[in-house]
Amino acid sequence: MKPDRKPSPSQALFVTGPPGSGKTTLLQEIVTPLGARAGGFYTTELREGSRRVGFEIVTLEGERGLLAHVRFASPYRVGRYGVDLESLERIGVSALRRAMQAEQLVVVDEIGKMELGSAAFRDAILQALNSGAPLLGTVLQAPLPWTDDLKRDQRVQVLRVTRGAWQAVRQEALAWVNALPGLRPQLAGTESKLLKALMAEKAKERES
């Protein structure tokens, strides 16, 4: 693992890597113990049997909404998915703004092609950076002008994860969170119960 480092402590930490490398699982592992000290959202897959058919937004407060679906009619499409930008803004962007207002750790999973179709989403990310809020998230690995500029921002640190480097990246991300005032998740050992449950769920999906 060779994380991109900045000469001074970063305001934002983003994890990037190929699909299936465990970015969302890592984010959940870090954020869940923080409770109300963090706000924002992550995304999860929607499946019909073994087939992925879309993605759902889940806020850290438990609110859910559609992000994209193969059967969702939308003028904005990414691959075979129609993207529900209204749902993203109503649920996801609102969660980011609430986290900023409450001075929480702002959590966003992910900053990718689907989400970047929303000007309000892009504005919320920049507003978080410009406000000085701590920001933790996942970001698209593939080249894209908007995310490329974001990853080059001097306020941002980027960690690249692979399956082989997952634990090392997790430890570095946890150390970053631990250095934030008032944000110290208490995780015992190298794996929490949440991580074990998530890994078991992934194993079942691979077997199905």
Whether the per-residue pLDDT at 7 is higher than 90: the answer is no
Nearest-Å Rg of the Cα atoms of the chain is 16
* Segment 182-204 mean pLDDT: 48
Q: 90 and 65 in contact (C-beta within 8 Å)?
A: yes
Separation of alpha carbons 68 and 57, rounded Å: 9
How many other C-beta atoms are found inside a 10 Å radius of the C-beta of residue 36? 9
Domain contains 118 = yes
| pLDDT confidence tier of residue 147, bands split at 50, 70 and 90 | very high
* Segment 67-80 mean pLDDT: 97
Domain contains 7 = no
Domain contains 1 = no
* Segment 97-125 mean pLDDT: 97
* Segment 184-204 mean pLDDT: 46
Domain contains 134 = yes
Instruction: Indicate which CATH number applies to the domain containing 196.
Output: 3.40.50.300
Domain contains 5 = no
Domain contains 6 = no
* Segment 6-13 mean pLDDT: 70
Determine how β-strand 64-69 pairs with β-strand 81-83.
Answer: antiparallel
Separation of alpha carbons 15 and 115, rounded Å: 16
Tokens 């703004």 correspond to: 97
| pLDDT confidence tier of residue 185, bands split at 50, 70 and 90 | low
Domain contains 2 = no
Q: Which amino acid is at 22?
A: G
Q: For 53, what's the count of Cα atoms within 13 Å in the CB-facing half-sphere?
A: 9
Total count of domains within the chain: 1
Domain contains 61 = yes
Whether the per-residue pLDDT at 91 is higher than 50: the answer is yes
- Domain housing 192: 12-207
In this prediction, what percent of the chain has a pLDDT beyond 70?
A: 83
